[in-house]
Amino acid sequence: MAFKYGDGQAHVCLKIPNKTSGCFQEAEFQPVSTEFVRTSCLQDLIWSLSKATNLSEADSRYFKELSERFLQFPSPKTGFRQRKEYRQLSRQERSNFHRALQILYEEGTIRLYAKLMANANPEVKLSPEFLGFQRVFLALVDDTVSLPYWDYTADFETDNPVNSILWTPDLLGNGNGQVVTGDFRHWRTTHGPLQRRYGESNYGVLISRDVIAKIMTKCDAADITYPIGTDIDEQYVMEYHQNGVFNWVGGTVADADTAAYDPVFYLISACTDHIWEVFQYRQRVACNKVPATDYPNKDAFKKMFGFSELINAHGYSGHWTTAWYNYTRAPYCPNCNSEFLWCDKLKTRCVADSRRNDFNIGPKQHLDLNIDTEVEYIPRKIAFPQLPSPFNDGRTLVTGKRDAKRAFEARFMRRRNNQVKPRVDKPSQDVGITPTTNETTTESD
């Protein structure tokens, strides 16, 4: 540190780490104010020097006692829960869910679970432990919260998922930088403000129904979990594809050190768990397998990370979806049962509404929505990347308007030339997130 008085004023010169210097250099190419750069980069330096992600003895004891309570009371005290697709929640249900998350954030529970996930990632990622740990993590997050799931396949079906109405103040808030709209605006993490940067990374793509159909061709848990035998096998691994969704959203959730601070993390993880439950149902009825005994390696009886009174095999048990929660069927044609979704009759699939008010092929125009809230943003270095991950499919934040325009023009030409006639309205028959039809998770059409 040195003091200079050349102009009659005191100046403090600090030698800063390369990471912080890189933050200032990166900011030169961003349309942000000098004050924002100074604040953001120096805060990043402070957070990087803290030990905020380490689990304390009290933290570890909390999760140990939580797993003990599960063994004593193997169902939620507030009753059996049904997880719906997020956009199928009623306005009151959505408001209650947002409020419940806000309470968990304010009382520190979100911070506690984010720390657990940050510490668990080196232990459970790239292994069969991942799916079971995630299931227990979601189930025990809080007795008062019934988590919905985000059916990301409906957004994959849009002209470009960055145009989805999901990223609006009434739903999850903006996705193009620091979250400044919606009920989760101004949430903070151990690495600074809650951020998203959808569709910008070279890695990351939403999961399609075709990918899910491919996963459903397998019968063994070893086929859909790490480790894998060859690179070709990776296309069936659920963790690989979930990483793609995290990286597509970008920002906070793309860093395993901070991912669980973003509410969208829980919605993404719940959808993956839903797909896994459908896979386990198929194991029972189509493959003559018992999912609870299908743990792929010798670690089935190893203590589960964090939840030390449980073993890894507990995560594969059917108990969770028979005594704890189940899932409603993912949105399907002809009505999709949501004001934020519509049935594309050419595909017979539900598609997320677009929030664009220029090029919009959907039946509803949201003229009061701006396509993107202007926010300042400096890319933050990812401490623990969500990898491996599929690459971006070419639909990016930059191409959002172009992709919407092309889809609009193509739809206009088809209608004008009458080259394609809509199919008769009927429920979609493709293999996606289908109803779970065992005795405890059946939902009739």
Closest to 384 measured CA to CA, from 39, 118, 199: 118
Residue with the bigger pLDDT between 29 and 75: it is 75
The per-residue pLDDT for range 169-206, each reduced to its tens digit, is 999 999 999 999 999 998 999 888 999 999 998 889 99
Rounded distance, CA 309 to CA 216, Å? 32
The residue type found at 244 is G
Rounded distance, CA 443 to CA 274, Å? 14
The residue type found at 404 is A
- Residue 209 half-sphere exposure toward CB, CA atoms < 13 A: 21
Q: Considering the domain boundaries, does residue 437 fall inside one? A: no
> Do 36 and 89 fall within a single domain?
no
Q: How many structural domains compose the chain?
A: 2
Domain that holds residue 346: 56-417
Q: Considering the domain boundaries, does residue 433 fall inside one? A: no
The per-residue pLDDT for range 31-47, each reduced to its tens digit, is 556 666 666 666 565 55
Q: Considering the domain boundaries, does residue 376 fall inside one? A: yes
Rounded distance, CA 211 to CA 235, Å? 8
> Do 113 and 169 fall within a single domain?
yes
Average pLDDT over every residue of 304-317: 96
Give the CA-trace dihedral at 159, 160, 161, 163, to 10 degrees. -90
Q: Considering the domain boundaries, does residue 423 fall inside one? A: no
Q: Where in 124-218 does DSSP place strands (E)? A: 188-189, 192-193
Average pLDDT over every residue of 303-324: 95
The per-residue pLDDT for range 268-282, each reduced to its tens digit, is 999 999 999 999 999
Predicted model pTM: 0.85
Taking the CA atoms of 381, 386, 388 and 389 in sequence, report the sign of the dihedral they define.
negative
The yes-or-no verdict on residue 358 having pLDDT over 90 is no
> Do 256 and 329 fall within a single domain?
yes
The owner of tokens 């999961």 is: 207
Rounded distance, CA 343 to CA 398, Å? 27
Q: Where in 143-282 does DSSP place strands (E)? A: 188-189, 192-193
Rounded distance, CA 261 to CA 251, Å? 11
> Do 297 and 151 fall within a single domain?
yes
Say which DSSP state 292 is in: G
Rounded distance, CA 411 to CA 400, Å? 17
Rounded distance, CA 154 to CA 267, Å? 14
Q: Which helix (H) or strand (E) holds 13?
A: strand 11-13
Residue 130: give its domain's CATH number. Answer: 1.10.1280.10
Rounded distance, CA 59 to CA 112, Å? 7
pLDDT at position 230:
80
> Do 32 and 61 fall within a single domain?
no
The owner of tokens 């509410």 is: 263
The yes-or-no verdict on residue 318 having pLDDT over 70 is yes
Q: Considering the domain boundaries, does residue 104 fall inside one? A: yes
Q: Are residues 396 and 200 in contact, defined by beta-carbon separation less than 8 angstroms?
A: yes
